[in-house]
Amino acid sequence: MSQEKISQLKQKLSEIHDVNSATSLLIWDQEIFMPPKAAEGRGKQLSTLSTIAHQMFTDKEVGDILKSLQDQSGSLTADENKLVSETCHDYERAVKLPDAYVNEFALERSHAYNAWVEAKKHSNFKAFQPHLQKLTNLLHRRADYLGYEGASYNALLEDYERGMTVESLKPVFGRLAVEQSEIVKKVAHAPQPDFSWLAQEWDEDKQWDFTMRVVKDLGFDFESGRQDKSVHPFTTEFDLHDVRITTRIRKDDLFTGLMGSIHECGHGLYEQGFLPQDARTTLGKAVSLGIHESQSLMWENIIGGSLAFWKHYHADIQKLYGTQVKEVSAEQFYQAANRVQPSFIRVEADECTYNLHVVLRFEIELALFEGEIGVEDIPAIWNQKMKDYLGLDVTDDAHGCLQDVHWSQGYIGYFPTYALGNLYAAQMFERIQSDIPKLWDEIEAGNFSVLLKWLREHVHHVGRRMTALELIEHLTHSPLQPDAFLRYLKSKYGSLYKL
């Protein structure tokens, strides 16, 4: 009886997963291949499919199956009980959102996205403003539907980083703002390495081939995924065996494409690493966006930004670019990959300044959502904060508050997970180094699989069996804290810039 119900539940989840996969493919295609005039139709397709998936999941039958399984918890395995409780968690949130709301939200996201694309093109925040206002209103309704304790922004955070609150984030982000700003200032006053060799043209095909090779070396399975080019790199999955990453190659920059590929590969390895028996169910999913980001950032910054990594690839990259890099040592590649340079654009920011971009967005979102500022105030506040945190004068909104796609997608409360990714990664990595004492030797020898194996076992295979905060506590015997990350930054950049 309970086994029959478990099968029924898995069947339902599997069908919902299929619809969500189709939605993800529609988005993937929209970012990479869709012709321009198709935007309106695509918006309708996305809103229809979102509504269908929501209707399927909130169907009374799903509720009945879950209820019946909760009543029989004694006859279920631990995994089955976890599947039931996690699905109940999602179900209880989902049923609070009316179908009409889900449809309206999806449709407005699509309008706002198209408006944002145009507004960014012309660096005209005013053209995007009414859409951001509408989305903000819709998100307030969402928060009211879902309920929250403390700040209303907590209801949004809960979607991306369950259990995270404004109250717990504020002190953490406060320390990051102060201590990272200090490091950035020290670096700015330190003697700079010679980066002049970077100012060359780098063949795009060679760059592409090298990203493909590195991604493969790191363990990404190209039989179960692929890499393409897109304006904004991203990762998506349609199935455990269909994980798609993208990258962006720039002729004038040797690192954007490679580091972007490694970053998305980190996400992709996580998506390819769920247990096959969890596939198409609630357990075979990322525990949180912050943990997802810890995977991409660990591979990109801690590994891709390590001296061992560059020592490993030094001979190959010298062969690839020939005379262009003949005089450039492995140490110089390492320095260049970790160059600190305050800049306008978050996705191009280095590791030292990155969290400051996040803190800025968090503060603006929070003020907006709690009603302390209006949508129209954003450009001025953005520009002031960029001056305060990074010492930069923003030239126009395209390089300022219009740069990110997130708000046009209604993703408010999402940015904090990027900084959390850095913190989780650093905290986890201290444990990894103690578990694998010879890790850097392995990396220098190109044996990335030792790290992947650890992550598979301790993070990927877990799926949603723990929450992010439980996982980090379980792995590091400590709650989330910024110390490991700040230790890592101070040590790495202290040595790089001889601070």
Catalytic residues: 264
Q: Could you tell me if 416 and 169 are in contact, meaning their C-beta atoms sit under 8 angstroms apart? A: yes
Residue 308 · residue 444 · CB < 8 Å = yes
Minimum distance between the CB of residue 315 and its own copies, rounded to whole angstroms? Answer: 30
Q: Nearest distance from residue 102's CB to its own copies, in Å?
A: 14
The verdict on 59 binding its own copies (CB under 8 A) reads no
Closest CB to its own copies among 184 and 245? Answer: 245
Q: Which stretch binds its own copies (CB under 8 A): 28-36, 173-181, 327-335, 484-492?
A: 28-36
Task: Tell me the closest approach of the beta carbon of residue 266 to its own copies, in angstroms.
Answer: 18
| Alpha-carbon span 185 to 187, nearest angstrom | 5
The β-bridge partners of 239 are: 242
Query: Whose structure tokens read 């015997």?
Result: 477
Q: Which of 57, 125, 202, 238 binds its own copies (CB under 8 A)?
A: 238
Decide: 435 and 475 in contact? Cβ < 8 Å: no
User: Rule CB under 8 A: which of 265-304 touch its own copies?
Assistant: 280
Q: Residue 322: left if φ>0, alpha if ψ -120 to 50, beta else—which one? A: left
Please give the size of the binding site for its own copies, defined by CB under 8 A.
37
Select 67 or 121, whichever has its Cβ closest to its own copies. 121
Contact 386, 360 (CB under 8 A): yes
Q: Which is nearer to its own copies, 177 or 215 (CB)?
A: 215
Q: Does 242 bind its own copies (CB under 8 A)?
A: yes
User: Cα–Cα distance between 341 and 114 in angstroms, integer?
Assistant: 32
Are 113 and 405 spatial neighbours (Cβ–Cβ below 8 Å)? yes
**What residues from 35 to 54 belong to the interface with its own copies (CB under 8 A)?**
35-38, 40-42, 44-45, 48-49, 52
Give me the least distance between CB of 320 and its own copies, in Å please. Answer: 23
Q: Which stretch binds its own copies (CB under 8 A): 182-190, 240-248, 291-299, 302-310?
A: 240-248
Q: Which helix (H) or strand (E) holds 121?
A: helix 99-121
Collapsed DSSP state (helix, strand, coil) of residue 392: coil
* 245 near its own copies (CB under 8 A): no
Indicate the residue among 242 and 363 with the shorter CB distance to its own copies: 242
The Cα angle at residue 412 between residues 86 and 288, in degrees rounded to 5: 30
Burial class (CB in 10 A: 0-12, 13-18, 19+), 81: middle
Q: How far is the CB of 274 from its own copies (least distance, A)?
A: 13
Cα gap 197→214, rounded to integer Å: 22
Contacting residue, 5, 23, 359, 462, with its own copies by CB under 8 A: 23
Binding segment for its own copies (CB under 8 A), chosen from 129-137, 139-147, 233-241, 484-492, is 233-241
**Cβ 456 to its own copies, closest distance in Å?**
17
**237 three-class SS:** strand
Q: Which stretch binds its own copies (CB under 8 A): 31-39, 308-316, 357-365, 415-423?
A: 31-39
For residues 397 and 382, what is the distance between their CA atoms, to the nearest angstrom?
A: 9
* Contact between 15 and its own copies per CB under 8 A: yes
Q: Does 154 bind its own copies (CB under 8 A)?
A: no
Interface stretch with its own copies, choices 23-31, 76-84, 171-179, 209-217 (CB under 8 A): 23-31
Nearer to its own copies by Cβ, of 21 and 353: the residue is 21
Pick between residue 92 and residue 221 the one whose CB is nearest to its own copies. 221
Bridge partners of residue 246, in order along the sequence: 228
Q: Which listed residue (121, 216, 241, 474) binds its own copies by CB under 8 A? A: 241
34 part of the interface to its own copies, by CB under 8 A? yes
Cβ-Cβ contacts under 8 Å for 239 (sequence gap 6 or more): 21, 279, 280
**For the sheet containing 242-247, what is the strand order?**
225-229, 242-247, 235-239
Q: Indicate the DSSP class of residue 281.
A: S
Q: Give the C-alpha separation, 199 to 177, whole Å.
A: 31
Distance CA 359, CA 355 (A): 6
Q: How far is the CB of 473 from its own copies (least distance, A)?
A: 34
Region 194-223 residues binding its own copies, contact defined as CB under 8 A: 221-223
The single residue among 2, 8, 25, 159 that binds its own copies, judged by CB under 8 A, is 25
- Structural tokens at position 15: 């069908």
CA nearest 30: which of 121, 148, 109? 109
Residue 291, number of CB atoms within 10 A of its CB:
26
Of 135-143, 177-185, 224-232, 356-364, the segment contacting its own copies by CB under 8 A is: 224-232
Work out whether 437 is an interface residue with its own copies (CB under 8 A). Answer: no
Using the rule CB under 8 A, is 19 a contact of its own copies? yes
Which residues between 328 and 387 bind its own copies (CB under 8 A)?
none
- Is 61 among the residues that bind its own copies (CB under 8 A)? no
Q: What angle do CA 407, 472, 370 make, to 5 degrees?
A: 30
CA-nearest of 83, 58, 59 to 70 is: 83
Residue from 3, 4, 7, 14 touching its own copies (CB under 8 A): that is 14
- Residue 436 tokens read as 């694998």
Among 3, 33, 67, 487, binds its own copies (CB under 8 A): 33
Q: Where does this chain bind its own copies (CB under 8 A)? A: 14-15, 18-19, 21-23, 25-26, 29, 33-38, 40-42, 44-45, 48-49, 52, 221-226, 228, 238-242, 280
